[in-house]
Amino acid sequence: MLGDALLTAPLSADVVTKRGDQGACQVFLGERLLVTATREEAAAQKSTPEGLAGLWAGRLKHALSGSYVAVSAGASVDVPLGEGRFVRLAGPGQAKLVAVVEPRGVASVRNFGPKLWVAGNNPGDAKLRLATADGKVTVPIRVRPWAAAVPGTITVPVTAQLKPGEWADMAKAAVACSVVGRPGAEVHTDLSAVAWPSFTARVTAQAPNCFPIAALTEVEAKVAVQDIAEPSQVWVSNYPERVKKARTLLRDEIDAAPRAVRLLWHHVNTSPEPLWIGVRICNYGAERAKFAWTGTAAGPGDDEVYIGHIAAAGYLDLFRRKAAMILELAPASSVEVDAIRTPPGLIASGVASLALLQGGQVVVEVVAHSDPPPGSAQALDPGARLPERQTHLDFPGVVEQTAEYKVGGPWTFVHLGRTPGANEHGRQLLGNYGVLYWLRFVLNNPTAAATDVELDVEGGAGAARACFLLDGKLVETPLLNPSRDFVAYKWHVEAGKSREVIITTMPQSGSNYPVTLILRTPAGQR
């Protein structure tokens, strides 16, 4: 209170005493009450309220009659690293004030008349020493980095308009990439106000030997159509499917741009505690990594068929619209782009594509954490080197098949996931989970009457679901089993004509593959 009052440059004549309630006596500086001398306090010092207040007022009058300098600093001057802070001055002694900082490597000071500018040069502690002809004072200086660097605006390039739920998930990853936390930082992002295409997010962070920060950032999606390379490989994180403790489940490298991969993960938490299961991207390169990311994570849940289906259907719907977001990751840093809190006994599943557009030495990991992952990009440990690939679970990511059906002839059968893919290490991908099937069907109608051709889907190995991209639409099946099939689609073929159709599908986690597709004429038209 006195410090603030002195910054108004008062004179000694501004110090007055006045009687207060219950026999107390008060000291004022102008209109500002500074202190009250009560009967009890005065008695303890063997004085009267008037005498004690007069003593205090006299000392203050004497100080104000000299060449004093008032300083706005509190207990310390806190200066963020790389920034500066003003220290306000007042009083007639400013003209002869000498200000120095020791040690100079931590901070520096410049005198701008009624203000001092203290700049933070390196993390550490220093002292601001102020001296006039009549006295000296020392003020501590603390220079610390912010716990996280939070940009005022985060612009997210996206290649197509996103649905609300998709934007909420992708915006979380975009904020995590753009906000860079210090080592050990706890970063929390409030995304409760997510709206398309822009919203305000609140970011808070704290870290050891750092200043805590609470900041608002404007997050905005900018739609710009861009062709993104389609993955030719699929990386599968399902071995082991049952996770007993926190660990890295998959690790593989994208050595240089341009390269695109599809990532599938599907795990059950069999540990006694919750695990956060998700994807981490690490940039070990010397330049910023720029990449396109699109995908869907689902869970937690106890129905593995349903959880796997939600992830696959969400991914194929994004794929259908060519929807992805473009993110950048600083060198020597990592970011968690998706993580689901998975209680014991429950399942987390996901499918995503990552296309590296710029940079190299990017490592992709599927990780089970015992604690919530940080909500921001994190610096890698100093001197961190590119790790060896932990798993060899990369497989051919695309299968192309052609089939023909002739109206009036035998049915045509196409099996999904029946022939497993294999990689260069001799491992097989049973069921071909996560492999994208491009199916080209030629429908011939040599008869004299127009007819329909239907696509029937049958499960053969147990409970399963499937989803397809047909004629620009996403088609999903209900639960299938060996005794229950589903007519997913029908095409009309004119008499004496042929029709070519393209179907895209993908064996999905949690379901039992192979699944069989049957092209046939509807029963009523045979």
8 Å CB contact between 455 and 487? yes
User: Mean pLDDT over residues 478-491, rounded?
Assistant: 89
Q: Encode pLDDT of 106-131 as tens digits.
A: 999 998 878 889 999 999 999 998 88
Q: Is the pLDDT of residue 65 over 70?
A: no
Residue 93, pLDDT score:
55
The strand pair at 473-476 and 485-493 is best described as unpaired
Indicate the SS3 state at residue 121.
coil
The H or E element that residue 278 is part of is: strand 275-283
DSSP state of 417: S
Tell me which of 135 and 170 has the higher pLDDT. 170
Other CB atoms within 10 Å distance of the CB of residue 138? 11
Residue 252, pLDDT score:
93
**Which backbone phi and psi does 209 adopt, to 5 degrees?**
60, 35
Other CB atoms within 10 Å distance of the CB of residue 448? 7
Structure tokens at 436: 């994208």
Q: Is the pLDDT of residue 462 over 90?
A: no
Q: In sequence order, which residues have a C-beta less than 8 Å from that of residue 120 and are 6 or more positions away? A: 79, 80, 81, 82, 83, 84, 85, 106, 107, 143, 144
How far lies 75's CA from each of 2, 128, 142, 166, in Å? Answer: 14, 12, 10, 48
Q: Give percent of the chain above pLDDT 70.
A: 95
- Measured CA to CA, the distance from residue 419 to residue 277 in angstroms comes to 30
Please report, to the nearest 10 degrees, the dihedral formed by the alpha carbons of residues 428, 432, 434, 437 taken in order.
Answer: 130
Residue 9, pLDDT score:
65
Residue 73, pLDDT score:
60
**Which backbone phi and psi does 3 adopt, to 5 degrees?**
-60, -45
Q: Is the pLDDT of residue 69 over 90?
A: no
8 Å CB contact between 91 and 68? yes
Query: pTM surpassing 0.95?
Result: no
At 5, the pLDDT band (50, 70, 90 cuts) reads low
Of 85-89, 250-254, 364-368, 386-390, the least confident: 386-390
CA proximity to 325, closest of 172, 191, 505, 506:
172
Other CB atoms within 10 Å distance of the CB of residue 46? 8
Residue 485, pLDDT score:
83
- Measured CA to CA, the distance from residue 128 to residue 303 in angstroms comes to 64
What residue ranges define each of the domains in the chain, with the CATH number in brackets? 2-64 (no CATH), 75-144 (2.60.40.1080), 148-223 (2.60.40), 233-396 (no CATH), 398-525 (2.60.40)
Q: Encode pLDDT of 417-446 as tens digits.
A: 999 888 888 889 999 999 999 999 999 999
At 63, the pLDDT band (50, 70, 90 cuts) reads confident
Residue 393, pLDDT score:
85
Q: Is the pLDDT of residue 4 over 70?
A: no
Of 59-68, 275-284, 377-386, 452-461, the least confident: 59-68
At 92, the pLDDT band (50, 70, 90 cuts) reads low
The mean pLDDT value of the chain amounts to 90
Q: Encode pLDDT of 186-196 as tens digits.
A: 999 998 899 99
At 68, the pLDDT band (50, 70, 90 cuts) reads low
Residue 244, pLDDT score:
97
Name the one residue in this structure whose structure tokens are 């593959």: 513
At 154, the pLDDT band (50, 70, 90 cuts) reads very high
Residue 94, pLDDT score:
57
Q: Is the pLDDT of residue 67 over 80?
A: no
Q: Is the pLDDT of residue 70 over 80?
A: no
The strand pair at 107-111 and 247-256 is best described as unpaired
CA proximity to 123, closest of 106, 102, 104, 141:
106
Of 208-222, 342-356, 481-495, the least confident: 481-495
At 60, the pLDDT band (50, 70, 90 cuts) reads confident
